[in-house]
Structure 1
Amino acid sequence: MLKSRRLLVALGKIDLGRPAALSSNFPVNYLSRIASQKHDSIVASPWKSIDIPDATLPEFVFENSSKWADKVAVECGLTGKGYTYDELRINSKRLACALLKAGLNRGDTVTLLLPNMPEYAVSYYGVMEAGLTLSAINPLYSADEIAHQLTDSGSKYIICHHDSLEKALTARNLLERNLHVICVNDFDGRTREIPSCVRPFSDLISPRDISDLEKQAHPVAANETTAFLPYSSGTTGLPKGVCLTHKNLVANVAQITHNDITINQPTTKDHQDSVIAVLPFFHIYGSTVSLSRTLREGGKVVTLPKFEPASFLNSLSTNKNIVLYAAPPMIIFLASHPSATEKHLKHLRITMTGGAPCSDSDLEKLFDKKKHVVIQGYGLTESAPVLTHSHQDYKDRASTGAIVSNTLAKVVDTETGKDLPAGETGELCFKGPQIMKCYHNRPEATAETIDKDGWLHTGDVGYINELKNCFIVDRKKELIKVKGFQVPPAELESILRQHPKLYDAGVTSLPCSRNGEVPVAFVVPNPGNQNIKEEEIKDYVASKVAPYKKVSKVVFVDAIPKNPSGKILRRVLKEMIQTELQQKQR
């Protein structure tokens, strides 16, 4: 069992197999009620409960790393540059010491603006080693979007890739306070020039005394200290910071490395799994599942900065014992694209998909192309992220898997909010040690997502069968999922309404075989501006958002359909666009 002098709060053990004896991680009023009543609506995990250690995330992830100290921990799939486990630990601690020496205080936030690369892992664990909070931004974001998140998170430092340096500096100029910029400018062995106001990343991992790091690092309360602050739109609305504690992250890594469901094979002298990490680390799926899960079990993380067919297929061809964590577009590519041949899939041992719904037919296509284990998982940023995880032997690919250990689930009526008997369809709700502390500075949004009894309301509609496997059948939430990325309609609507020629706007989505979904904008021009062109509106939005948020189609209407309280009726928008498409096909 790990122990840390810096940890002030124990995480404890939760035995969810016996609801009447739940630990104090759940509210007392809930415990008293569940102890005295039968709750046919509450479903516990089928897996044995586990001990959650008193540890920071870096301590837990690297608990056994001395066993494989000389094996490669993380390696760039493009350049071959990487770090062994020993080097990753040392460099993370050097970075932690450098940040502390720079004067960062308890509660301060450091933001990463990095693609998947070995330096991301150094930074991710290094910031947490220092007892600081880490946030992360999609490198595709515009300077405006970067500035917004930096402002909301209160970040004091940003660590960026050289390719994103210009945007980072532009974002800094938009802030009304100072922001220190650190740049990875030698990622491929060639050092690039940077302004004198920017500090090279290499300075932070240069040789230094790290023996007193534990004494220097800020104290961590495992159940309270926010370790990671990713951003999510939640069930609706604009992006919000999700406060994930060390407890949340450690618990989820422990849950998905549970002996009954782990998919990585033990690391030995002669064997090491390779994980092709193309899922972005700024997304909780990438950071917890691809990165922390793999490193906890001694695997090799092969980083790719983005999904690009040639480099992706090359990484599949040149590595062995491959575990692939994928989003649906990657599954579709591997299953259907002619360039993805059996040769490329030869060393693929397990594929797990998540991040957005993936059809069982696409999973079957991939399985038919290469016989291997193909499974699904389900979760949210707000749950760090995994809530359900398939067992390797479970063959129903329509299922997102069974409830993970130490977790309860129930289904509630989407209209009344009342509990439904197990097996019925409604909104999925979960409770467990991986559930976020709160949304950052958003108490009302927190209350809308986590109820008074501690249940996380997912906004997803589904059911749980007799084997405690979860099935997602619809989304109550309004988010658009483009290649697994969240696109909140409210954000695009806000931008559209800022256009001087537009009066009102509403956004919905269209299914897309390539991207999953794409945004469609309905707009009402201002009087006298009826001649505005579709391309002008598309270009306007594109200038203000990341590429995946671009509007795919613009529909001109006289009014946006709304209910009496002013809420946009997106169901009506979907019907309108479907009607238009059907008319064009006639």
Structure 2
Amino acid sequence: MLKNPLYVYGPEDRHVPAKLNAGDFFLQKIWEHKDKVSMINGATDEKLTYGEIAQEAMNLAVSLVKIGVKRGDVIAICSENRREFWSSVIGVICAGGVVTTINTSYTKDELKHVMGISKPKFVICSPFSYKAQEKNFKNIEGIKNLIIFGEEIPKNTLSYNALAIVGGSNSMLKENVKIDEFEAIEVVGKDDLAMILYSSGTTGLPKGVMITHLNVVTACSPTMEMPDIVALTITPWYHTMGLMSHLIGFVKGKMSIYLPKFEVEQYLRTIEKYKVSQLSVVPPVLVALCKSPTKHDVSSVMIVVSGAAPLHKETADAVLKRFPNAQAVLQGYGMTEATLAVSINTNPDKKASVGQVTSNSVVKIVHPETGKVLGPNQEGEVRVKGVMLMKGYIGKKKQDDFDEEGFFKTGDIGYYDEDKYLYIVDRLKELIKYKAYQVAPAEIEAVLLKHEGVRDVGVVGKPHPSAGEVPVAFVVTQPDSKVTEAELQQFVAERLSNTKHLRGGVRFIDAIPKSATGKILRKDLKKMVISSKSKL
């Protein structure tokens, strides 16, 4: 009956509607802004209004029901960032379907794995994804048909335009659906799924994360106001960070600039052209921007928001130099399992923090081995509880990932300070076990990034017969850099304690393997540890 004084509680300020179909929730919200531009493609200048998203979503929902989609059917969306993506997401959910978003770069085995989890009956995809995955899609059992974006429709597939846009020769609908005549399929919001998303899989195969309608509606119902600024994003929409952050913005009627992919020169040109005031990126993008020698007018940038991976203080300092008018470099902490955000920082005086716990959420820090609840400034595993927390993983027992109080075991190491601001140290599974010590790879990476000859870096543990593991660094050098292994080992030794020295050596490689959101794929680096080959 009493709150635990060692837990960190977010405010109770979210309000959800009585009708809990998430698609209907988005539809009603974006219709309020139907005449506003929702987003602009920074590469092509193509504009998309909220009214276009809403109209195509309603049309698509009605058409999907006509072709046999029923409540609870899973529909996969596999596409790069393009205009039809959002009406597909909202339309599927309005039809009572469950959206599962698919990484466009999945290999055959990865695609087979995730679709084996979600078992979609239809796949909506772009021409790019169709060309790349056609054979793989057709070899997956249970898929009834493919729905293709664009004008050119391959044989034995369905046309998105025919289902969602009225006026073409093949249109399924004779006229546009009117919003006052439209009703989304009724669902049980607390139990029925709106989405099946996938954990990042940085330490193993992705898991299917079950996100309910209530999870989604609650996550997109913060009462805090969002400033009316021009934001630029490159995060793939099939990932939780891109997916949910845009849906939250839709509810508030915000306009954003997006790019289908990241390229330093185009990114900086887009900032200059559209006078972008907020950047939403992952740390590796910030590193690339800070180390780029090109000059563009970036004086419009006022706020930089970083997420998906820890942001080193040194990188944050470099960002403020690269964007001189930026007032703050702010971090957030979240995960697919929490329907995006666990904490958000809005305090520039706490720039190393990932912020305060979001509303309707609770965080506790526990000792990784004993489970004892810890107090301020004590490092332990971060555990999360709240309305936005997933229903569970598909095919897994809930007790495997939740403790007896219903808190999700994040596997992240962190702490909170005396002001209840949260800090993330590293992943529990990624800590290097050197003798009796636990070494955080992120700390060594932060030091190496200070070296003028280092462009990018990833650190993992290398098996050692007596010490257990020793740190080894994989380094991408700056062009024309002549830095050596011994030089970097000495650089670290002069700045970090003995347990964190690079006893495993330095490997020079062309690129650090990363997920779509910029997280270092340490499992891939560990596979490379067994090879003694290096670039230099």
> TM-score per shorter chain, which class?
0.7 to 0.9
1:374 and 1:426 map into 2 onto residues whose CA distance is: 25
2:306 alignment counterpart: 353
Whether 1:265 and 2:230 are equivalent positions in the alignment is: no
Q: RMSD across aligned C-alpha pairs, in angstroms?
A: 3.5
Structure 2 SS opposite 1:228: strand
1:50-65 matched pairs, under 5 angstroms:
50-54=14-18, 55-65=20-30
2:263 alignment counterpart: 308
Q: How far did 1:236 drift? A: 5.2
1:75–1:301 Cα contact (<8 Å) kept: yes
Amino acid at match of 1:220: V
Whether 1:424 and 2:391 are equivalent positions in the alignment is: no
Return the match for 2:252 from 297, 308, 328: 297
Return the match for 1:365 from 314, 318, 341: 318
1:456 alignment counterpart: 408
Shift of the 80–158 alpha-carbon distance from structure 1 to 2, 3 Å rule, reads same
2:134 alignment counterpart: 169
Structure 1 SS opposite 2:221: helix
2:7 alignment counterpart: 42
Unaligned 5+ runs, structure 2: 167-172, 432-440, 446-457, 461-468, 479-509
Whether 1:206 and 2:170 are equivalent positions in the alignment is: no
Q: How far did 1:421 drift? A: 2.5
The Cα offsets for residues 476-535 of structure 1, whole Å up to 9 and x where unpaired, read as: 0349999xxxx9x9xxxxxxxxxxxxxxxx9x98555699xxxxxxxxxxxxxxxxxxxx
1:9-24 matched pairs, under 5 angstroms:
none
Q: How far did 1:357 drift? A: 0.8
Whether 1:155 and 2:107 are equivalent positions in the alignment is: no
Whether 1:447 and 2:368 are equivalent positions in the alignment is: no
Amino acid at match of 1:384: T
1:129 alignment counterpart: 94
Shift of the 457–467 alpha-carbon distance from structure 1 to 2, 3 Å rule, reads same
1:109 alignment counterpart: 74
1:18 alignment counterpart: none
Identity percentage over the alignment? 29
Shift of the 129–511 alpha-carbon distance from structure 1 to 2, 3 Å rule, reads farther
Deviates more, 1:422-431 or 1:216-225: 216-225
Whether 1:238 and 2:209 are equivalent positions in the alignment is: no
Q: How far did 1:321 drift? A: 4.9
Shift of the 317–215 alpha-carbon distance from structure 1 to 2, 3 Å rule, reads closer
Shift of the 511–472 alpha-carbon distance from structure 1 to 2, 3 Å rule, reads farther
Amino acid at match of 1:274: V
Structure 2 SS opposite 1:419: coil
Shift of the 252–177 alpha-carbon distance from structure 1 to 2, 3 Å rule, reads closer
1:387 alignment counterpart: 342
Q: How far did 1:556 drift? A: 4.2
1:280–1:286 Cα contact (<8 Å) kept: yes
2:190–2:212 Cα contact (<8 Å) kept: yes
The Cα offsets for residues 218-264 of structure 1, whole Å up to 9 and x where unpaired, read as: 32111111111111157954211100112112222224xx42xx5x3
Instruction: Give the TM-score, by structure 1 length.
Output: 0.70
Return the match for 1:469 from 421, 430, 441: 421
Structure 2 SS opposite 1:87: helix
Amino acid at match of 2:408: L
2:413–2:428 Cα contact (<8 Å) kept: yes
1:509 and 1:174 map into 2 onto residues whose CA distance is: 40
2:154 alignment counterpart: 195
2:48 and 2:195 map into 1 onto residues whose CA distance is: 23
Return the match for 1:251 from 218, 221, 229: 218
Unaligned 5+ runs, structure 1: 1-34, 186-190, 267-272, 490-505, 516-537, 558-576
Q: How far did 1:48 drift? A: 5.3
2:348 and 2:22 map into 1 onto residues whose CA distance is: 30
2:280–2:306 Cα contact (<8 Å) kept: yes
Shift of the 458–554 alpha-carbon distance from structure 1 to 2, 3 Å rule, reads closer
1:442 and 1:227 map into 2 onto residues whose CA distance is: 19
1:427–1:458 Cα contact (<8 Å) kept: yes
Q: Give the paired residue count.
A: 455
2:240 alignment counterpart: 284
Structure 2 SS opposite 1:292: helix
Structure 1 SS opposite 2:211: strand
The Cα offsets for residues 276-295 of structure 1, whole Å up to 9 and x where unpaired, read as: 22101111111111x11221
Structure 2 SS opposite 1:395: helix
Whether 1:325 and 2:287 are equivalent positions in the alignment is: no
Shift of the 551–243 alpha-carbon distance from structure 1 to 2, 3 Å rule, reads closer
Q: How far did 1:75 drift? A: 2.7
2:284 and 2:154 map into 1 onto residues whose CA distance is: 38
1:415 and 1:511 map into 2 onto residues whose CA distance is: 30
Structure 2 SS opposite 1:477: helix
Q: How far did 1:127 drift? A: 1.0
Shift of the 66–173 alpha-carbon distance from structure 1 to 2, 3 Å rule, reads closer
1:292 and 1:233 map into 2 onto residues whose CA distance is: 20
2:428 and 2:48 map into 1 onto residues whose CA distance is: 43
1:318 and 1:59 map into 2 onto residues whose CA distance is: 35
Q: How far did 1:474 drift? A: 2.2
2:211 and 2:311 map into 1 onto residues whose CA distance is: 26
Shift of the 364–56 alpha-carbon distance from structure 1 to 2, 3 Å rule, reads farther
Q: How far did 1:213 drift? A: 9.3
Return the match for 2:391 from 437, 442, 452: 437
Return the match for 2:528 from 549, 554, 557: 554
1:29 alignment counterpart: none
Shift of the 200–311 alpha-carbon distance from structure 1 to 2, 3 Å rule, reads farther
Whether 1:396 and 2:350 are equivalent positions in the alignment is: yes
1:485-524 matched pairs, under 5 angstroms:
510=473, 512=475
2:466 alignment counterpart: none
The Cα offsets for residues 332-359 of structure 1, whole Å up to 9 and x where unpaired, read as: 12222112x350x222232110001111
1:71 alignment counterpart: 36
Q: How far did 1:217 drift? A: 4.1
1:279 and 1:122 map into 2 onto residues whose CA distance is: 18
1:514 and 1:64 map into 2 onto residues whose CA distance is: 48
The Cα offsets for residues 15-73 of structure 1, whole Å up to 9 and x where unpaired, read as: xxxxxxxxxxxxxxxxxxxx15x62321212x453323334334444544455322211
Structure 2 SS opposite 1:164: helix
Structure 2 SS opposite 1:181: strand
Structure 2 SS opposite 1:420: coil
Q: How far did 1:151 drift? A: 2.4
